Amino acid sequence: MLAEPAAALGLPLRLLAEAEGMSAAQVIPDHVVGDYRDLSTLRSVTEGCQVVTFDHEHVPTEHLRALAADGLAVRPGPDALVHAQDKAVMRAKLGELGIPCPRNTVVASVADVEAFGFPCVLKTTRGGYDGKGVWFVSSAEQCAEPFDSAAASGVALLAEERVDFRRELSALAVRSPSGQAAAYPVVSSTQRDGICHEVIAPAPDLDPDLAGEAQRIALTVARELGVTGVLAVELFETTDGRVLVNELAMRPHNTGHWTQDGAVTSQFENHLRAVLDLPLGAPHPRARWTVMVNILGGPDGVGRLYDGYPHALARDPRLRVHLYGKELRPGRKVGHVNAYGNDLDDCLERARHAAAWFRGDLGNDSE
Ligand code: ADP
């Protein structure tokens, strides 16, 4: 999705792809297939590049340090990115900055978890995504699986208080190396089975003070951690009216996909502008509401995808569709739709209908 604004701006991209045929490799001709955990691959791919950036945070921190030591502009840099790679490092830093977070501690044994108190949430400090590496535990017995899993992958475990939240919010900011920053409107997101399912921009009925607080948190974290590019701050809106930081991502984020059609400048374009230290574009919404719904493969892996176009596009000429060129697999994100307009219920209905249609949930009978 970075390729689209890169093409518009005439910026040549070179890609390190995990495998031939991956979404990004389909649209970036100048790509190399290789392992992002291999330093020599990273060195050869980045040779001659003006700047290096990422669409996931799993490139080993020490390799990023080596590339930076070679003189390459790595954005975000390893000192910032480590806070999106390692939840324990992130929690410690946010605590230092006085940013509100759930109560937390690193745990080395079940006894540590008992001392912290049940019920709580256990998380692997590294390598988790889409709810993988997160366990809700209420007893010592339930701690066995998280500890086994953490030991198998050689990572530590973090215990967090189980937050009683009203909903999940996301505050997106973008920052350039010279310090210019912009904050997008705060959005609400809903998850299904730990995977982001739907985003509403801006978050409906959000107290303006709380929205301001969430944006301030994002801008403060971006500045204090020296983030370059997009920073997504996932937050809990607690039932007693506070915001607490759940986690950080330093790349264009699923909760910012609405900006492709709903904001003056998309998160992808602003990420490119930021990592190139170009002036940022306006983050303002183009419409009162934008709803983004992800298209996920159904349980039997069957869906319509491209066959869904005639119906989805004819039903809603204002619908914006983004498919990733991925094969359908159960639970896999294969695309998303955006619907924008002045009426939230209408946007919700249009986006949900289209996503359900592509997924194959709606038969012809229901039409
Ligand atoms: P991932 O890195 O897999 O995205 P997260 O830390 O975002 O993991 O957790 C996944 C989901 O688990 C969150 O979206 C939220 O719904 C729930 N969750 C995470 N931490 C807590 C917590 N401390 N209290 C309550 N729910 C939580």
Residues 108-158: pLDDT tens digits?
A: 999 999 999 999 999 999 987 777 899 999 999 999 999 999 999 999 999
pLDDT at 363 over 90: no
- Spacing, Cα 86 to ligand 1 middle (Å): 14
- Spacing, Cα 131 to ligand 1 middle (Å): 6
Identify the band that residue 301 occupies on the pLDDT scale cut at 50, 70 and 90. Answer: low
Cβ(160) – ligand 1 distance below 6 Å: yes
- Spacing, Cα 233 to ligand 1 middle (Å): 12
Res 194: pLDDT:
81
Shared fold status for 103-161 and 165-359: no
* Mean pLDDT comparison of 275-284, 294-303, 305-314, 352-361, highest-scoring range: 275-284
Domain 103-161: which CATH number of 3.50.50.60, 3.30.1490.20, 3.90.110.10, 3.90.226.10: 3.30.1490.20
For residue range 71-97, what is the model confidence (pLDDT) as tens digits? 999 999 999 999 999 999 999 999 999
pTM score, whole prediction: 0.95
- If residue 114 lies in a helix (H) or strand (E), which one and from where to where? helix 110-116
Per the model's pLDDT, the better-predicted residue between 353 and 367 turns out to be 353
Cβ(102) – ligand 1 distance below 6 Å: yes
CA distances from residue 215 to 96, 166, 257, 273 in whole angstroms, order as listed: 19, 18, 18, 20
CA distances from residue 206 to 59, 73, 164, 169, 209 in whole angstroms, order as listed: 36, 38, 17, 10, 8
Q: Write the CATH number of the domain with boundaries 165-359.
A: 3.30.470.20
Instruction: Domain ranges for the chain, please list them.
Output: 3-84, 103-161, 165-359
User: Terminus-to-terminus CA distance in the chain, angstroms?
Assistant: 32
Cβ(129) – ligand 1 distance below 6 Å: yes
CA distances from residue 344 to 24, 261, 288, 320 in whole angstroms, order as listed: 32, 15, 8, 16
Q: Which pair of structure tokens corresponds to residue 301?
A: 């892996």
- Spacing, Cα 194 to ligand 1 middle (Å): 7
Atom of ligand 1 nearest to the CA of 129: 3
Q: Tokens 């985003």: give the residue.
A: 199
Atom of ligand 1 nearest to the CA of 131: 3
Cβ(60) – ligand 1 distance below 6 Å: no
Mutate to test the pocket of ligand 1, among 121, 196, 197 (most ligand atoms within 8 A of CB): 121
Atom of ligand 1 nearest to the CA of 196: 14
pLDDT at 366 over 60: no
Confirm or reject CATH 2.60.420.10 for domain 3-84, answering yes or no.
no
